[in-house]
Amino acid sequence: MSRILTGALSALAIAVSAPILAAPHTLRVIEDAAETIPLDLVLTAPDAGRINARLCDRCELLTLTVDANTAVLLHGARKTLQDAYDRGARGATVIFDHESRVVKRIVLWD
């Protein structure tokens, strides 16, 4: 009797999950990144500004927003937006929200 019940429950589980597994899956870009030399950072306040960057050499120029929540990192250590501005000639990787174009992180290069 338990074999019949186990088989029936297994068949039911497969039947219920089959439509879910067959549904097409799509990738959604949450964050995007741009490498930029030099870092084209314009500060409009100590904790705000914008970065002009391209995703590729021939891609359109993007204007990205920098705010107080933007993390600036150098070798894993937190830095300020002023540090990013001062080291801009060395370049950086800029990670930003794909939809809002708000910069989440600026990773400074040596």
In degrees, to the nearest 5, what angle opens at C-alpha 16 toward C-alphas 11 and 17? 100
pLDDT band at 20 (very low <50, low <70, confident <90, very high): low
Instruction: Tell me, yes or no, whether 91 lies in a domain.
Output: yes
Instruction: Tell me, yes or no, whether 2 lies in a domain.
Output: no
Tally of domains in the chain: 1
Instruction: Tell me, yes or no, whether 15 lies in a domain.
Output: no
More confident residue, 16 or 31: 31
3-state secondary structure of 64: strand
pLDDT digits (tens, 9 = 90+) for 43-80: 999 999 999 999 988 999 999 999 999 999 999 999 99
Predicted local confidence at residue 50, as pLDDT:
98
Instruction: Tell me, yes or no, whether 18 lies in a domain.
Output: no
Instruction: Tell me, yes or no, whether 48 lies in a domain.
Output: yes
Instruction: Tell me, yes or no, whether 98 lies in a domain.
Output: yes
- In DSSP notation, 15-53 reads HHHHHHHHS-------EEEEEESS-EEEEEETTEEEEEE
Predicted local confidence at residue 15, as pLDDT:
65
Q: What domain range includes position 46?
A: 31-108
How many whole angstroms separate alpha carbon 94 and alpha carbon 39? 9
More confident residue, 24 or 47: 47
Instruction: Tell me, yes or no, whether 1 lies in a domain.
Output: no
